[in-house]
Amino acid sequence: MQQETETKSESPVRSGSIGSGTGGASPRQKQQLERYLNFFSSLAFSSSIVYGIMLSTVGNLAIACSLAELASIHPTAGAQYHWSYFLAPCGRRFISFFQGLVTVFSWSALVCIAPHFIGTQIQGIVVLAHPQYKLVQWRGTLLMWAVAIIPIIVNIFACRVLIGIEYAAGIMHVVFLPVTIAVLVSLAPHNLDSFVWDTFVGGLSGWKDSDVVFSIGLLGVITPLAGVDGIIHMAEEVKNAKVVVPRSMIYGTLINGVLAFAYLIAVIYCMGDYAEALLSPTGYPIIKIAYQATGSKPATYVLMAMGMLPGWIALFNGLASVTRLTWAFARDNGLPFSDFFARVDSTFKIPLRALFLVSSCIFARSFIQIGSNAAFNAILSLSKLGLYISYLIPLILLVLKRLTVPGDIPQGTFTLGKWGLTMNLIAIVFATYFVIFLPFPPTLPVTAENMNYAGPVLGFVMLFACGDWIVRGRHKWEGPTLRPYMRDE
């Protein structure tokens, strides 16, 4: 594979083959490159991810503001499917049912991301420490289980400490990231400004159209910002939810966008030879970049731990959020066997069966990566694709309501005022843009291994939703309710 670049000014990017910096790529190195492109397409595609993160932050902030307005009116664990029901001018039962199933499937896939990345990054660190260690997929699966088990136990036996855990995750997030940036900036040699701001690297993917390359490259940079609705699904356990939830959505998206931008700038300035990083046998270029910067394996371990720990702690509340969403949908008879999964355990005072269902999905999906990386990647991509579709449905219905009967839209504690329609339209444009390019394959030519199966998987989920509606849902689904659900039901 030959390296192709488009440069607007002088830059230190070297031409030649990808393996030129290492004397040619071995078969193992080639496999690592393919794996890297599947998971971190943005860095492989373009140094202009600087602009991608700006675009992603603006788009997700527009989405967060629009959904925050709805959250201030109806702060409920059901969130999107609840709002779609009350906004839809017709067919509201089917729309909300369809919406709910897509959202539940998407969030249950999203909670697989942290265990997977943390588990495989641990493997990458082991490779750095012991180069003779061989990356084996089933070991990654076992590490996924190890990463997930403690958050599951805490959600069962110590759910009241989740608030403290959330504070700890937030503090780590805003402390560890600046420390990591400071270490990279102070120790690593710096690339030229032109490499960071003016150089477009597009030859690694096989795509020729630079606009397509840029758009597919957004897949990685939207990951830190996806899931703006996470706090909404905890709304029924949040004090003063009509005020707290909208603020959390907006401030959280803004803070994550700023920190992600700063981190990416530091990484691109300090990454050195990106081709060498791409071919890292660890499977994670960031490990190679950190090692190149510090020249110390222990320092690299610490930097990686500072990145993984906040993500792991965030999984505690991520599980709680998905559990409440699943429980809420079952409470409204949206899931098969809803009566079973809608129960709130009288001892632990949580929807224990819904938690076990979500946890089972993590363990079941972990087996997929043993057989096929491509299939597992599809599950991970499904989470983002499904979530943006779940945002699009209520946003489109909200715009229709604004244009037809604006007086029927109640006012919540947070309102966009005269900017409401404009912000909603911006959010729809960005969400549509993301949805169009999320299913694109990351590399050409397309093979069974590098194919992005997110589209077909989501299509199957949608067909399942329609089939379940015909067989069961239309008889049992009456739409969401705001009634309190008793602990002993």
pTM score, two decimals? 0.80
* Confidence label for 470 from pLDDT (cuts 50, 70 and 90): very high
Q: Can you read off the two tokens belonging to residue 113?
A: 């991301």
Contact criterion met (CB below 8 Å) for 124 and 290: no
Residue for token pair 């943006």: 388
Stretch 245-271: mean pLDDT: 88
Q: Which domain holds residue 390?
A: 44-476
Q: Rounded to an integer, what distance in angstroms lies between the CA atom of residue 358 and that of residue 321?
A: 10
**What CATH number did the domain enclosing 367 receive?**
1.20.1740.10
Closest CA to 147 of 168, 175, 116, 107: 116
| Average pLDDT rounded to a whole number, residues 453-462 | 85
Report if residue 339 sits inside a domain: yes
| Residue 4 resides in a domain | no
Confidence class for position 204, pLDDT limits 50, 70, 90: low
First to last CA, the chain: 61
d(CA 474, CA 2): 55
Distance CA 248, CA 258 (A): 15
In a domain, 451, yes or no: yes
Q: Is the pLDDT of residue 36 over 70?
A: no
Quick: pLDDT tens for 365-417.
888 888 777 777 777 777 888 889 999 999 999 999 999 988 888 888 898 88
Give domain status of residue 23, yes or no.
no
Q: Is 126 exposed, middle or buried (0-12, 13-18, 19+ CB in 10 A)?
A: middle
- Say what the pLDDT of residue 43 is: 37
Euclidean distance between CA atoms 169 and 175, whole angstroms: 10
pLDDT classification of 200: cutoffs 50, 70, 90: low
Rounded CA separation 80/74 (Å): 10
Q: Give, in order, the Cα–Cα distances in Å from 229 to each of 118, 219, 242, 246.
A: 23, 18, 14, 10
Domain count, the chain: 1
- Is residue 410, in this structure, part of any structural domain at all? yes
317 within domain boundaries: yes
Query: One-letter amino acid identity for 298?
Result: P
Count of positions (residues) in the chain: 489
Which pLDDT tens digit goes with each residue over 149-172? 999 998 898 877 777 777 777 788
Q: Is the peptide bond before 442 cis (omega within 30 degrees of 0)?
A: no
Specify the pLDDT at position 472: 92
Distance between CA atoms of residues 64 and 47, nearest Å: 27
If we measure between CA atoms, which residue out of 461, 480, 407, 452 comes closest to residue 39?
Answer: 452
Q: Residues of 404-424 as b/e, b for ≥16 C-beta within 10 angstroms?
A: eeeeebeebbbbeeeebeebb
Does residue 30 carry a pLDDT above 50? Answer: no
- Domain presence at residue 247: yes
pLDDT at residue 41 tops 60 = no
pLDDT, residue 10, reads 37
Query: Which is more confident, 122 or 311?
Result: 122
| Residue 16, number of CB atoms within 10 A of its CB | 10
pLDDT computed for residue 5 by the predictor: 43
- 107: which DSSP letter? H
pLDDT at 462 over 70: yes
pLDDT tens digits, one per residue of 48-70: 577 888 888 999 999 999 999 99
Average pLDDT, the chain: 81
pLDDT, tens digit, 9 for 90 and up, residues 224-249: 787 788 778 777 777 888 888 899 89
The pLDDT, as a whole number, for residue 445 is 80
| Residue 195 covered by a domain | yes
